[in-house]
């Protein structure tokens, strides 16, 4: 009878050990997946922030300074990241210049000056000073 109770205690100890190892492995896998998900969310936020810098230039009409700014930003990014064509942080700018351009010219009447220069004499300057 004494051997049977010791055998039961040993079996119970083994079951408890297996249970603790299983719970530990389960918790480890959950923590690992949580960290992986957290890293993916962080990476996704970084990509969104990176793309947001260039999305402001993604429109139909860009002025010359906008084109220069986005090209300089792309060149600067590629140099600082030391990016190559296969790198995900490499910025490649594509410009579509196939559409027609229209130029609006406002007619200005140049026959009369916009302002007239007036030269003051010394007496007019002195009278203006005395006015204060």
* pLDDT score recorded for residue 11: 93
Q: What is the pLDDT of residues 74-113, one digit of tens each?
A: 888 877 877 666 676 777 777 666 666 555 544 545 555 5
- Could you tell me the residue ranges of all domains in the chain? 1-50, 56-101
Q: What is the pLDDT of residues 4-19, one digit of tens each?
A: 888 999 999 999 999 9
pTM of structure: 0.44
User: CA–CA separation, 100 vs 122, rounded Å?
Assistant: 58
Q: What is the pLDDT of residues 17-69, one digit of tens each?
A: 999 999 999 999 888 888 888 888 988 898 888 888 888 888 777 777 888 88
Would you say the C-alpha torsion 81, 83, 89, 93 has a positive or negative sign?
A: positive
> Nearest-5° angle of CA 39, CA 43, CA 44?
115
* pLDDT score recorded for residue 21: 95
């Amino acid at each position: 009878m004494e051997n049977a109770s010791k055998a039961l205690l040993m079996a119970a100890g083994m079951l408890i050990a297996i249970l603790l190892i299983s719970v530990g492995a389960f918790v480890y896998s959950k923590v690992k997946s949580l960290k992986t998900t957290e890293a993916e969310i962080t990476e996704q936020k970084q990509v969104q922030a990176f793309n947001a810098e260039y999305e402001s230039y993604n429109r139909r009409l860009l002025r010359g300074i906008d084109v220069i700014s986005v090209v300089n930003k792309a060149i600067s990014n590629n140099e600082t990241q030391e990016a190559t064509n296969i790198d995900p942080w490499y910025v490649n700018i594509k410009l579509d210049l196939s559409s027609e351009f229209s130029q609006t010219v406002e007619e200005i009447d140049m026959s009369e000056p916009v302002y007239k220069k007036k030269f003051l004499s010394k007496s007019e300057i002195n009278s203006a000073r005395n006015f204060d």
